[in-house]
Structures are given as C-alpha cells and as structure tokens.
Amino acid sequence: MSSKKVTSKSSIASDAYTRPITPEIVIKENPLYDNSDSAFSKSKKEAQPEVMSVMMADITAEAAMAEMERKINLLMKVVEE
C-alpha cells in the first residue's frame, strides 16, 4: 500500500513539472501591515506630484527638441537651395 502512495505522489510531481508555466503577477495587500501612519507612505504620497512634474518636464523637453530639429532641418533645406 505504501508503494501506491509513493507512485501517486511521483505522478503528481511529474504532472507539476510537465504542465506549461504561465507567467502571472499577483498584487495583494498585506493585512498584517498597516501603512496608514508609516513615514514611507507619507513620503510616497508627497513625492507623487514631483514625479508628475518631472514626467511633464521630460515630455516638454522632448517636444522642444523635436521642434528645434524640425527648424534646423528647414534651415538646412533653405541653405542648400
């Protein structure tokens, strides 16, 4: 009888290794950790507007670079003619 148990366990183990692995991301809240008063959560909330302004600055700089590149290309065409 013990050999049947070993056989069934080994077949279960082999099934676990032969099944395709599917990547998955699971995000859960930890009920044991209360972050309502933590300094980290406060600093995280305060930093968010700064991150948004940096992102906007990057987009603005990228748009300005594209505009300057367009103007330079136009001037190069005028000089060539």
34-80 residue pLDDT tens: 555 555 555 555 555 556 666 666 677 788 888 899 999 999 999 98
Mean pLDDT, range 27-32, rounded to an integer: 63
Q: Is residue 75 in a domain?
A: yes
- Can you give the pLDDT at residue 1? 47
Residue at 10 is within a domain: no
Within a domain: residue 77?
A: yes
The whole domain housing 81 covers: 41-81
Asked whether residue 57 is domain-assigned, the answer is: yes
In a domain, 58, yes or no: yes
> Count of domains in the chain?
1
Inside any domain, residue 65: yes
* Average pLDDT of the segment spanning 29-34: 60
Say which residue, 49 or 8, is predicted with more confidence.
49
5 found inside a domain: no
Q: How far are the Cα atoms of 11, 14, 35, 52 from residue 7, in angstroms, in the given order?
A: 6, 10, 47, 58
Task: Determine, yes or no, domain membership for 50.
Answer: yes
The pLDDT of residue 17 is above 60: no
Report pTM: 0.32
